[in-house]
Amino acid sequence: MRAYRDQYASLFNSGQNVVVMGISNDPVGELGSWLHDEDFPFLFASDADNDGATYAAFGGGLRDNNMVDSRAVIVVGPDGRIAGVIEAFNQNDPMAYEELGEIVDRVTPEPEGD
């Protein structure tokens, strides 16, 4: 997740016009503490108490045990609609950032004057 934070401005347009949210089965308190300690500039969501229902509502597929895949990422476009779901984001794989960047680019308009 630190790699998310470190690439946030370039990959996610500093949060303009797009929302990036990581979702897991970790408890809310753990996610909140981690978010605060590491100064992450994006959202985390917990599905710990909902047996995967929250993640499934965003369009994510669940494992056989109704758990969210490790480090799932949801991208919400400026229109408030789900722009993409990456069910198992591997933060150590550069190709994962390319996939995420493609989703963000698809829903983020080019700045005027470019």
Q: What CATH number corresponds to the domain at position 12?
A: 3.40.30.10
Cα separation of 53 and 18, whole Å? 23
Residue 84 domain flag:
yes
Tell whether 23 is covered by a domain.
yes
Average pLDDT of the chain is 77
How is the beta sheet containing 43-46 ordered, strand by strand?
Answer: 43-46, 19-24, 72-76, 82-86
Q: With pLDDT > 90 as the criterion, what percentage of the chain qualifies? A: 2
What's the domain range around 9? 2-106
CA nearest to 68, candidates 81, 41, 86: 86
Asked whether the CA dihedral 57, 15, 104, 70 is positive or negative, the reply is negative
Question: Is residue 79 in a domain?
Answer: yes
Q: CB under 8 Å to 71, separation ≥6 — which residues?
A: 1, 22, 24, 88, 89, 90, 91
Residue 112 confidence class, pLDDT cut points 50, 70, 90 = low
79-109: per-residue pLDDT in tens?
889 999 888 887 778 788 888 888 888 887 6
Asked whether residue 111 is domain-assigned, the answer is no
Please give the tally of structural domains in the chain: 1
Please state the pTM of the whole predicted model: 0.73
